[in-house]
Amino acid sequence: MSDTGDAQPWLYRLLEPDGRQSLRRRLLAFLLVPLMLMLLLESLITYTGALVYSNHVHDRDLAGGAETVARMLQLGMDGPISEQAKFLLQYDPEGHNNINYFSIVSEHHGLIAGTPTLVPPSRLSLAVNGEPKLFDAMVERRKLRAASVVIDSTHEAGDTLTVTLAETLRDRRQNAREILLLSIPAQALLIASVFVLVWFGVRIGLRQLDPLTARLAAREHDLAPIGDADVPVEILPLTRTIDGLFARLRAMLALQERFIADAAHQLRTPLAGLRVHVERAQADPSRETVNDALDHILRLTQRATRTSGQLLALTRAQSPDHAGDPHGLLDLARMVPDLLALRVHEALAVGVDLGYEGPPTPAWVDGDRITLQELLDNLLDNALRYAGRNSMVTVGVTDDEDSACLSVEDNGPGVPPAFLARLGERFFRVPGSNEEGTGLGLAIVQRIAERHRAQVRYIAGSEGGLRVEVRFPHARTARKDSDA
């Protein structure tokens, strides 16, 4: 709840007073608001329908009343209309204080009786002895509903009488409200029943999670996938996400176990050697023996340091936390010469001629400079270590339509064709090699290349040595610029 703060709707704060999220409460909240809106909408629709029905009934009675008065006049009512008749025309039999109006207008003599302002509009087009017609009128600031009918006068030939009856709208609205009040309890009871059914339905539906909860609670150190066996469809995305998390955890644990095993495997020999030479120096404290033991200890320490460093580098290269796509835009044709300049003195010290061949134009790739420097350093370490003195090592960069290629080639003794396919395996060293090594350098190269979606190829060099090619896909940004 802390992510939404005061902006949380009041209904959620009401249903979640302790501040903890509840799926059941959320579902009920989402249902309660629409149900209340439906009750209001249904009440409005009911009132509108009841008002339409009440208007229809009252209009029919009003038209019938006008027609009845007209017939009474045609049956020989003599002289002006009596006070008793006026009272009956204006009388409200229901006792609702509903005010009724009437008017009788002669074509030749004008108003005979009733309200002088109650006249049908000219647009009504009343026919003599025709059907009564209804219209809206305004008398004494009251809105009325009226009905008019035209008949022939029985007292004067050629004269016509227009009979109009009108009433206020109070009864119509009162009837509509009564119908609404009768329907609201039934509608409210129906909605309350639906809400209760939904409440129990949600509770029963959420019980389907109990077997899954029990199965997960029974686990201790098991990171196997949950699977889809007893998982409701609605939470499959959640369980599959958890399965993905379990997979990453298994990979991390496997990587940790592999690192421990690799460290034990690689450090056992130098540590055992250190112990032997320390015991030898303790057994014979002569100057010559101690100096010789210290020389061996120094070399073994350097070997252990290099081994631990490469183990850490391999672990970083294999770690899922660093498995995302690289985002930096790098120019191999510029980066590689800069990195080679740092290794020239080392090549001279071991008697190796280190050279570079590259294109005059940029060779853009998507990559991480630090890990690519580590890749190149391991390729150079491998070449400088195994090429031998008075050999040549050439680092090249080429760029074509499909990819950019980084290559390291030497003219040393090379690798027998039968073992080329195994280069890049952890701890693999070519049989018969006299040089000390951990067998991790090319494995690190392989993992870093995979992170950059690059392909590594080991082939025989043009002068009998080993050639390693790392082919990178072109940078996506560079391709877009070239297409534009």
Ordered by where they begin, the domains of the chain are 1-218 (no CATH), 233-318 (1.10.287.130), 324-483 (3.30.565.10)
Identify the pLDDT of residue 470.
93
Q: Distance (Å, rounded) from C-alpha 137 to C-alpha 167?
A: 10
Q: What is the 3-state secondary structure (H, E, C) of 360-387?
A: CCCCEEECCHHHHHHHHHHHHHHHHHHH
| pLDDT given for residue 17 in this prediction | 53
Q: In this structure, what token pair is assigned to residue 455?
A: 């392909």
Residue type, 199: W
Which helix (H) or strand (E) segment is 398 a member of?
A: strand 391-399
Q: Which DSSP state fits 322?
A: G
d(CA 70, CA 73): 5
In the three-class reduction of DSSP (H, G, I as helix; E, B as strand; rest coil), residue 474 is classed as strand
Strand 110-114 versus strand 455-460 pairing type: unpaired
Q: Can you list the positions of beta strands (E) in 115-225?
A: 133-139, 142-152, 160-168
**Helices 332-341, 369-387: inter-axial angle, 10-degree rounding:** 50
Strands 391-399 and 455-460, by their bridges, are unpaired
How far, in Å, CA of 454 to CA of 406, rounded?
10
Are the C-beta atoms of 258 and 251 separated by less than 8 Å?
Answer: no
From first to last of its 484 residues, the chain has per-residue pLDDT tens of: 344 444 445 555 555 555 556 667 777 777 777 888 888 888 889 899 999 999 999 999 888 888 888 888 776 554 455 554 555 455 554 444 455 788 888 888 888 888 888 888 888 888 888 889 999 998 888 899 999 999 888 777 788 888 888 988 888 888 889 888 888 888 888 888 887 887 787 777 777 777 777 777 777 777 777 777 767 777 777 778 888 888 878 877 776 676 666 666 666 767 777 787 788 888 888 888 888 888 878 877 876 776 666 666 666 666 655 555 456 889 999 999 998 888 888 888 889 999 999 998 999 998 888 888 888 988 988 888 888 888 999 999 998 888 899 999 998 888 888 888 888 776 677 765 655 656 677 888 888 888 888 999 998 888 888 999 999 988 765 444 444 4
Please, are residues 476 and 483 in contact by the beta-carbon 8 Å criterion?
no
- Whole-Å CA distances, 96 to 166, 171, 307: 16, 7, 105
C-alpha to C-alpha distances, 138 to 59, 61, 124, 134, 275, nearest whole angstrom: 16, 20, 16, 14, 118
250 Cβ contact list (under 8 Å, min separation 6): 223
